[in-house]
Structure 1
Amino acid sequence: MKKIGFLSFGHWANHPQYNARTASDTLLQSIDLAVAAEEIGIDGAYFRVHHFAKQLASPFPLLSAIGAKTSKIEIGTGVIDMRYENPLYMVEDAGAADLISGGRLQLGISRGSPEQVIDGWRYFGYEPLEGETDADMGRRKGLEFLEKLDGKGFAQPNPNPMFPNPPGLLRLEPFSSGLRDRIWWGAASNATAIWAAENGLHLQSSTLKEDESGKPFHIQQAEQIRLYKKAWKEAGHAHEPRISVSRSIFALVNDQDRYYFGNESNREDKIGLIEPDKRAIFGRSYAAEPDHLILDLAKDEAIQEADTVLLTIPNTLGVDYNVHVLSAILEHVAPGLGWR
C-alpha cells in the first residue's frame, strides 16, 4: 500500500494551448485540483516553490486556502528553498496553515538548488555567515526552523507588554502541535539523505539526484533510501520515517493521452549538471498503456522502497485533464502494483 499524491510545478504562460495563462489561473486551479483530487481518493497535494519565475512561489497562502476547502488530503511542498526563508516568520506561517488544515501539512524543505537568478537569496536580504556556503546557510536555517517548531520558549518577555504574558520565555505563535514531525527534506545526495535521517526529517527524493555510482537512476535512488532508513534506525527517533519519490507517470488510455505523452514512452535516464561541478542523473518518464506501465513500474526499485509516490502533473493543461491523469493511475495502474 502506498500513498499517492500529485506534485505541481505551477507553471503559467500566455500560450494558446495553456489553460493556466496567468498567476491567478494557476493559483485558483491549484485549489480546484486539490479539491477534486481529494474527491477521487488522491492522498496528497504537493507544490513546488520557485522564485523569480512564472511558477508557484509563496506556498502558505495557497496551502491555507486548500486547507480551508478540503478535509482529508495531505497538503505539502516539494520543496521550499530555505536559503530564501526567514525561519521564524516561516514557523508562524506554517503553524497558521497547519491549524487551518487541521494538522494536514507535510512540508518539504531543502538547502536549495540552482535558481532562475544568480544568488537569488541575496535579493531577499540573506547572506551566508563567514566561512559558510549557501548550501550551509540553507541547512542552518532549516535546523533553526525545526528548533522553533518545537514550541519551546526562547524570547525574553517585555516587562511592560501591551498584553499580559504567560510565565517564562515566549515561543512563536500560533503553535501547531505535531508539525515538527511532519517536515521533509529534499535530498539530492546520499550524504544529505543520511543527514536528514539523523535530524528526524522525512525524505523527499525527486526525479534527479547526484550521480554517485553511474548506475541507473532508480537503483541509485533505492540505495539512497536504504541508507536513509539505516541512519533513521540508528538515530532512534520516536516517530516512523516516511519516504516519497516523484515520478512522471502517464497511463495512455485515450487518444488525448497519446497525443500529449505518446512520445514519452521510450524515454531513458539522462545525465546532466545541476551545478558546474556536480554531475546529476535525471530519472526517466513513464508513459504507456496501463498493462505495460504496470510491468515497467514494478521494476522501479526506488518506488518499492518508498511509502509515497508523488505524480508530477502537467498543470498547464487544466484541472479537468489533470483529474483524468490522476484517475487513470488510480483506476488502471495502482491496483495492479498493489498500491491500492
Structure 2
Amino acid sequence: MKKIGFLSFGHWNPSPQSQARSAADVLLQSIDLAVAAEELGADGAYFRVHHFARQLASPFPLLAAVGSRTKRIEIGTGVIDMRYENPLYMAEDAGAADIISGGRLQLGISRGSPEQVIEGYRHFGYQPAEGESDADMGRRHAEVFYDVLRGEGFAKPNPRPMFPNPPGLIRLEPHSEGLRDRIWWGSGSNSTAVWAAKLGMNLQSSTLKDNETGEPFHVQQAKQIRIFREAWTEAGHTRTPRVSVSRSIFALMNDMDRAYFAGSGESKDAIGFIDAQTQAIFGRSYAAEPDKLIEQLKADEAIAEADTLLLTVPNQLGVEYNVHVIESILKHVAPALGWR
C-alpha cells in the first residue's frame, strides 16, 4: 500500500480571494488540515519551508503543534533549507518535536532552492567556507545534523557543571531514538540522490529536477529513484529506504473543481532554469475526472517507483476545500490504482 500525504507550501496573501490572509491563518489552518487529513485516513502532513516570504518558515513550532493535536499521521517537511540552519540547534528542536509527536517526524532537508533575497543565508549568519559553494555548505550542515542525531557524546564536560553530568562525553538533548532513520534528502539530481543513499538518508523527489537526459520528467525521476536504491544497496545499509514524490493531482468532482483546475490537467512538462547554470525540468499537473485521472496516473513511472506520494494542496483555498481535494483522491482514485 502506498502512503499518501499532503504537502502545503503555506502561502498567505492579504487578497480578499485568499482564505489564508495572514501568518496566523496559515499556521492555524495547517494544524486543522493535518487533523482533518488524519481523520480521512491520510498518512502524512508535510510542510514546505521558505525564508523571507509570506510562507511557512520555521517549521518546528508547527510540527510540534500538529504532533500534539494528532495521534497517527506522519508529520514532515519538504524541505528545510540547510544553508540557513545551525545543525546542532536544529537537532535539539527536531528531537523535542519528535518526542511531542511520539516519534512521527519525517524531516525532509536539502541544500535549498532559489531564494527570495540575495544570499539570504548570510543574514542568518552563515557563509560558505573558502572554496565552498552555498550548496556545499548546505550539505555540510546536513552532514553535521545527521551525525549528531546518532545520540553519541561529543562535547567535553565541564568539571564544575551547574548540574551533574553523565559519565563520558556529552550529547545533545533531548535525543529522540529513531529520528535519524526518518531524515530525507530532497534531491534535484542523480548525483545528490547517490550522495544521500551513501549517507543513509531517505529520498524526497519533488516536481522538478535537473534535466539530465531530456526524457519526460516522470521517466527521469523514476531513473533517479532506481539509481538511489542501487547506491543504497551498494552502501550496505540494513534497513529499507523510503522514497517520496510530490504531485499536483486534482480529481474533478464538481463545478468548483472544474472552475479551479479544468485545463491544468492538460499541462505538459516544462523546461526552465533554477539558476544561471542549471536547466531543470518541471513535472506536469494532473486534473481530470477520476476515471481519466486513474489512467493518466498509471503511466507515471516515478509514482509507481515511490512508496510515498505527497499531494500538493492549494492552501489559500482554505481547509474545507483542501479536505475535499484530499478525500477525492483517497476515495475515488487511490483504490483503483492499488494504493488503498
> What is the TM-score when the length of structure 1 is the normalising length?
1.00
Deviation, 1:236, is: 1.1
Match of 1:69 in 2: 69
Work out the CA distance in 2 between the residues paired with 1:266 and 1:164: 64
Structure-2 separation of matches of 1:220 and 1:339: 22
Report the equivalent of 2:333.
333
Q: 2:167 and 2:277 mapped to 1: Cα distance?
A: 52
Question: After TM superposition, where is structure 1 displaced by more than 3 Å over at least 4 residues in a row?
Answer: none
Find out whether 1:176 has 2:176 as its counterpart.
Answer: yes
Distance in 1 (CA, whole Å) between partners of 2:239 and 2:93 is: 24
How far does residue 156 in structure 1 lie from its aligned partner after superposition? 0.6
Aligned twin of 1:243? 243
Q: 1:161-310 residue pairs with structure 2 within 5 A?
A: 161-310=161-310
Shift of 1:152: 0.4
Deviation of 1:234 after TM superposition, in Å, equals: 0.7
Tell me which amino acid in the other structure corresponds to 1:114: P
Distance in 2 (alpha carbons) for counterparts of 1:44 and 1:265: 24
Offset of 1:113 from its aligned partner? 1.6
Indicate the percent of aligned positions where both proteins have the same amino acid: 72
Structure 1 residue 130: deviation in Å?
1.0
Q: Distance in 2 between matches of 1:200 and 1:38?
A: 28
TM-superposition CA deviations, 1:48-68 (whole Å, max 9, x none): 000000000000000000000
Question: Deviation at 1:240?
Answer: 1.1
Partner of 1:88 in structure 2? 88
Return the offset for 1:304: 0.5
Residue deviations 1:198-232 (CA, integer Å, cap 9, x gap): 11000000000000010000000000000001000
Question: What do the CA deviations read for 1:91-141 (whole angstroms, capped 9, x no partner)?
Answer: 000000000000000000001121101100000000111111000000001
The answer to whether 1:318 aligns with 2:318 is yes
SS in 2 for 1:20: coil
Aligned twin of 1:127: 127
Residue aligning to 1:145 = 145
Distance in 2 separating the partners of 1:96 and 1:75: 13
Distance in 2 of aligned mates of 1:32 and 1:326: 14
Which one-letter code corresponds to 1:188 in the other structure? G
Higher alpha-carbon deviation: 10-19 or 92-101: 10-19
**Alignment-mate amino acid for residue 61 of structure 1:** P
Cα separation, 2, equivalents of 1:311 and 1:265 = 14
Q: Secondary structure at the match of 1:4?
A: strand
Paired with 2:315 and 2:121, the residues of 1 have a C-alpha distance of 26
2:54 aligns with 54
C-alpha displacement of 1:263: 2.2
Match for 2:195: what amino acid? W
User: Post-superposition shift, 1:17?
Assistant: 1.2
Determine the C-alpha separation between the residues in 1 that align with 2:86 and 2:265.
42
1:94-113 maps to which residues of 2 (within 5 A)? 94-113=94-113
Amino acid at match of 1:128: P
The gaps in structure 1 that reach 5 residues or longer are none
Letter in 2 for 1:171: R
Offset from partner CA, 1:287-324 (integer Å, 9 cap, x none): 00000000000000000000000000000000000000
Mapped to 1, the partners of 2:240 and 2:100 lie a distance apart of: 24
Gaps of 5+ in 2: none
CA distance in 1, matches of 2:215, 2:138: 29
Q: In the aligned structure 2, how far is the partner of 1:245 from the partner of 1:287?
A: 17
The Cα offsets for residues 26-49 of structure 1, whole Å up to 9 and x where unpaired, read as 000000000000000000000000
Deviation at 1:265, TM superposition (A): 2.1
Whichever residue aligns with residue 299 of structure 1, its letter is: A
Q: In structure 1, what residue type is equivalent to 2:178?
A: G
Following TM superposition, by how much is the alpha carbon of 1:238 offset from its aligned partner in structure 2, in angstroms?
Answer: 1.9
Mapped to 2, the partners of 1:305 and 1:116 lie a distance apart of 33
In structure 1, the partner of 2:21 is: 21
SS at match of 2:274: strand
TM-score normalised by L of structure 2: 1.00
